[in-house]
């Protein structure tokens, strides 16, 4: 089997050579699921402490993601996380919610970036230039780092929510439309953290409306 290729530092190196050292990678986790929040992360890596093995979080085993999450947390110059809940997603749509989470993640950085690189999401009203890369989390190490932080953060949240709503299996599928999840929706209808505007939550033409639980 061909080993997975790590994301490159080429975009960061181009910026560092011109004196632009605060390069923030931004990515999200949770645009596609039927339940739970969307989580974005912004990461500024240290040019003098490059982290090996960064790649698209979806291509990493859970244990490898956790290991890289720890290394990023220890070695990055700054990390910011933005979270938008399911109710807001339903109110403003998933694209706007993703942009809001990303902007919030950038605001939560402890230092202001000189350049922002995203996974092909253009953000408005930034105070610095940005690059929007197709497949950014697979091509750019800093975006890959952000994807890992966002994915691990959201997965941990979904595991906590699994304890509240154990019948849906959130700890296993994290809210994605797996056969297990869709079967639970057929049987039980949505729980309070489901995204009511997502078509996958409408099962057999009927949307089950449940009262929010305390």
Q: What is the reported pLDDT for 82?
A: 98
Q: What's the Cα-to-Cα distance from 213 to each of 17, 108, 191, 210, rounded to whole Å? A: 54, 31, 9, 9
Q: What angle do CA 56, 62, 66 make, to 5 degrees?
A: 85
Residue 110 belongs to some domain of the structure: yes
Residue 125 belongs to some domain of the structure: yes
Residue 4 belongs to some domain of the structure: no
Is the Cβ–Cβ distance between 69 and 148 less than 8 Å? yes
| Host domain of residue 155 | 10-161
Per-chain mean pLDDT for the chain: 93
Residue 202 belongs to some domain of the structure: no
Q: What is the reported pLDDT for 212?
A: 41
Percent of the chain with pLDDT over 90: 90
Q: What is the reported pLDDT for 202?
A: 74
Residue 185 belongs to some domain of the structure: no
- Window from 58-72, 132-146, 195-209 with minimum mean pLDDT: 195-209
Residue 92 belongs to some domain of the structure: yes
CATH number at residue 94: 3.30.420.10
Is the Cβ–Cβ distance between 155 and 161 less than 8 Å? no
Note if the pTM is more than 0.85: yes
Beta-strand pair 38-44/130-132: unpaired
Q: At what angle do helices 141-164 and 10-17 cross, to 10 degrees?
A: 130
For the cut 60, the answer to whether the pLDDT of residue 48 exceeds it is yes
Q: What is the reported pLDDT for 176?
A: 97
* Distance from the Cα of residue 158 to its chain's centroid: 13
Q: What is the reported pLDDT for 174?
A: 98
**Domain count across the chain:** 1
Residue 43 belongs to some domain of the structure: yes
Residue 144 belongs to some domain of the structure: yes
Q: What is the reported pLDDT for 5?
A: 81
């Amino acid at each position: 089997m061909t080993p997975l290729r790590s994301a490159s530092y080429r975009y960061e190196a181009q910026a560092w050579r011109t004196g632009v050292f605060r390069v923030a990678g931004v990515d999200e986790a949770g645009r596609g699921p039927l339940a739970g929040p969307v989580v974005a992360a912004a990461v500024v890596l240290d040019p003098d402490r490059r982290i090996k093995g960064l790649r698209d979080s979806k291509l990493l085993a859970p244990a490898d993601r956790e290991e890289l999450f720890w290394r990023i947390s220890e070695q990055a110059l700054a990390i910011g996380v933005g979270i938008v809940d399911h109710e807001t997603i339903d109110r403003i749509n998933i694209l706007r919610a993703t942009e809001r989470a990303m902007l919030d993640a950038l605001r939560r950085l402890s230092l202001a970036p000189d350049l922002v690189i995203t996974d092909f999401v253009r953000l408005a009203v930034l105070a610095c230039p940005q690059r929007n890369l197709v497949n950014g989390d697979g091509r750019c190490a800093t975006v890959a780092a952000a994807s890992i932080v966002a994915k691990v953060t959201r997965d941990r949240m979904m595991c906590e929510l699994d304890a509240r709503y154990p019948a849906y299996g959130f700890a296993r599928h994290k809210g994605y439309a797996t056969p297990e999840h869709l079967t639970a929706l057929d049987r039980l209808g949505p729980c309070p953290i489901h995204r009511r505007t997502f078509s996958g939550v409408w099962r057999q033409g009927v949307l089950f409306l449940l009262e929010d639980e305390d």
